[in-house]
Amino acid sequence: MNDLIIIGGGPAGSAAGVYAARKYLKSVLIAEEIGGQSTVSDGVENWIGTVKISGADLAKSLKDHLEAYKADKLETVIGERVEKLEKIDGGFQATTSSGKTYQAKAVLIASGASRKKLLAKGADTFEHKGVTYCASCDGPIFAGQDVVVVGGGNAGFETAAQLIAYAKSVTLIHKRAHFKAEPITVNKVLAHPNMKAITGVVPLEVTGDKFVTGLIIENVETKEQTTLPVSGVFVEIGVVPNTHFAKGVVELDEVGRVITDPKNQHTSVEGIWAAGDCTDELYHQNNIAAGDAVKALEDIYVHLKTK
């Protein structure tokens, strides 16, 4: 039996892998890929100690760091998803998408989050043909064009702020009358002459031929429909934690995030810790995910060696 199973290979999982190997814990890290969500980013400018690094290079450096320390203590299983996590005698068992099983005395859940998909008609068909989930990756393609941002939270306004630098116009749509984003950000972004917001509307259908040509929206009260003539639809409607395998195993909050003790990242179940974007941590950043995983590893080590 392993000492530890680490589920995830983003900043949290990678940090945990390095710490586990350096502490000589016999561990297995299972992840679909190494790098995590910001791998698609053009430039990460707040990874401490590095002025600017592309998401791809950040992923490579996490991978290199794991490789440098893993020796014979850390096994990495990349390209597999954990589908099931269960309690067994003396520990826990994780079952992957290919049916392989791994056992350990302790588990760190670091499986992060995925973007919520737009459910409007045509959104699937036009993904990567005008419908996008990453302004920093795809924004420049829409230089000089009319685009729409779906979502009135901070992410929506930050996306709009990025796009307004080169798009001809940016329209932000939001289903409620009031924005969730901070007022200071809202006011700053909406002050731009090429920026406008429409509230109280929902996206109904993405239209187009080969590429997007419009977005049909509907007023939630009057049901009146309007077509916005846009070539880009940027979706910022939140994230969903990747925790389906943990349901019924550890306590999750109402949106499926693992509830943790912020002092040590421990979950509701003895022997299971969680870190990063899959938890109920308030802030979602690379440094926080890595730091929380390090905190968890310190506690896991003490737990394993003093139990």
Is the separation of the CB atoms in 173 and 190 below 8 Å? Answer: no
158 is a site residue for ligand FAD (CB under 6 A): no
168 is a site residue for ligand FAD (CB under 6 A): no
Our CB check for ligand FAD shows the closer of 189 and 246 to be 246
Q: Per the residue annotation, which of 42, 57, 137, 146 is the catalytic one?
A: 137
245 is a site residue for ligand FAD (CB under 6 A): yes
- Pick out residues in 97-126 that bind ligand FAD (CB under 6 A): 110-113
Q: Which residue has the tokens 């187009």?
A: 208
Q: Which stretch binds ligand FAD (CB under 6 A): 156-164, 182-190, 264-272, 286-294?
A: 286-294
Q: Per the residue annotation, which of 42, 57, 72, 134 is the catalytic one?
A: 134
137 an active-site residue? yes
As a whole number of Å, the end-to-end CA separation of the chain is 16
Report the alpha-carbon distance of residue 228 to residue 282 in Å, rounded: 34
Residues 6+ apart with CB under 8 A from 131: 118, 123, 206, 212, 233, 235
Report the alpha-carbon distance of residue 289 to residue 116 in Å, rounded: 20
Q: Using CA atoms of 191, 195, 199, 203 in order, give the dihedral in degrees to the nearest 10.
A: -160
Q: Which stretch binds ligand FAD (CB under 6 A): 7-15, 145-153, 209-217, 294-302?
A: 7-15
Of 29, 249, 258, 3, the closest CA to residue 106 belongs to: 3
7 is a site residue for ligand FAD (CB under 6 A): yes
76 is a site residue for ligand FAD (CB under 6 A): no
134 an active-site residue? yes
Give the active site residues.
134, 137-138
Q: Which positions touch ligand FAD (CB under 6 A)?
A: 7-13, 30-33, 36-38, 40-41, 44, 46, 81-82, 110-113, 134, 136, 242, 245, 276-277, 284-287, 289
